[in-house]
Structure 1
Amino acid sequence: MRFNILIAVSLLWTLASGLTIPANTLSARDADLEVRESDFLGDSVDIAVREPGFLSKAKSALKPLSKVKNAFKPTYKVKAGGGKPAQTYSHHEVKQAVADANHEHQRLKNASKTQKKKSPLKVFNNNNHHLPKKSGAKHAKTFPKMKGTGHEYPLPNKNGGTGKGPARVIMKEKNDKLKLHGVVAHDQSRPTGSQGANDHFKVKGKINPFKKH
C-alpha cells in the first residue's frame, strides 16, 4: 500500500512539473487589450498623416539633420606659401572633380593624340619627391603603398588666377571607373621652376563638426 502511494505521488509530481505555461501566452482579456491598443496606434498614425501640412512639417524638421551629415564630411586645405593664399576644398568639390575626371576618361577613349595631350586628365606616376619635406626621407613617394600608376585631375583654382591650382585628385582605375585614392597638392612656398616645385604631397581630409554649412 505504502509503495502504491509513493508511486501515485511521484506520478502526480511529474505531471505537475511538466504543465508549464508559455511566457508569451496571453489571457483573453490581455489579448483583447493588445488588439485595442494596436487599433488606437493605427488610428493615431492615420490622423497624423491626414493632418494638413504634416508632410511639409516633417520635411522641415529633417533639414537640420542634413546639415549635421554634411558637417562630418572632410575638407581639404592647401597651406599658403610663396605669397599665395591657402585654398580649401569641400567634400563636394572633390567629389565633383572625380565625376568630371570619369567623364573625361570615357571621352578620351575615342580622342586623338592631340586631344589626349591637351586633356586635364593626366597619368599620375607617383614618382619619388625631388625635395622631400622631412629630412632623412630620401626620395619619399606621395603614396608609399600605392602600386602602379594612377590618374590625376586638377581641382579649381580659388586664388583668382587663370592657371591651374595647386591641388589634384588622384584616382585609381577599377572596372573601367576612376575611384578616389587621395588629394594632393604642390608646396606653394616653392617657386615655379625650383627643385621640388612639382612634387605632390598628400593633403589629409579634416572633419570639423562645428563648422557652419
Structure 2
Amino acid sequence: MKATPTDKAPGGRAQQVEPPAPVDADLLDALNDLGHTLHDWGRHTDYQLERCLPDLVNDVENVRILGIGFLDRNPLVDGIRPFWSVQDAVDKWGVERRTKGEPAWVEEVDPLVVAVARPEWGDPLITKLQAEMLAGSERTLRRWVRKDLIAPEGVVVIAGVQTQMFRQSTVLKVRAEMQAKVGRPRSAGRDGTSSQCPPRP
C-alpha cells in the first residue's frame, strides 16, 4: 500500500488499486471453521458438550475427531491455512482479547436502571413483550397495569432501550383470573335448576 513513483497518477495522487479489507481474512476463516466445529458438536451433544465430554473421550473415533477440531495444529499451505482448529486460533490470537490502548472495563451504574427483584427458581422475570404474549395483546397488558391488577417488577436498559420486566407467575395468575370471569358457564339457572346441556349420546 506504500506509494511509489510507479503508482502515482499524473496529478501526483496515488491511485489505490483496491481498498484494504475491513477485517483480517484469517480471522474470518477462523470464525467460519470454529463456528461450524462448535455448532456440529453442539448439535451432536444436544448443546451440552462439556457435560458429555467424559463419555465422548471413551470412544476412540470421537477422540480422533475432537482432536482435529480442537487440538491439531494445521500448517500453512502456500500461505493459506486449509483448516482452523481451536488450537490454531489460540496460537495466533491467544485466549484473551488484545486491544491496544483500551482502558480496563469498569462496570458503570446506569441511572436509568431500576432495581429488579431477585429472580426466583421456576418463576423467572420476563420482558414486557413476553408478558404481552402471555396476556394476549399489548392492549390487554396495558389495561391490567392501568387497573393495578399487575405491576412491573422493575426496568432494565437493554441496548439503550428501557424494558419493563414482569414476574411470569403474576402474569399467568391475572390471566387465569380474567379467563375465569369471561365465558364461564353458569352452574345453575334462575330457578335453581342446572343449566348444563345433557351429554351427547
Q: Return the TM-score normalized by structure 1.
A: 0.20
Q: Which has the larger radius of gyration?
A: 1
Higher relative contact order, chain-length normalized (CA < 8 Å, sep 6+) = 1
Higher strand share: 1
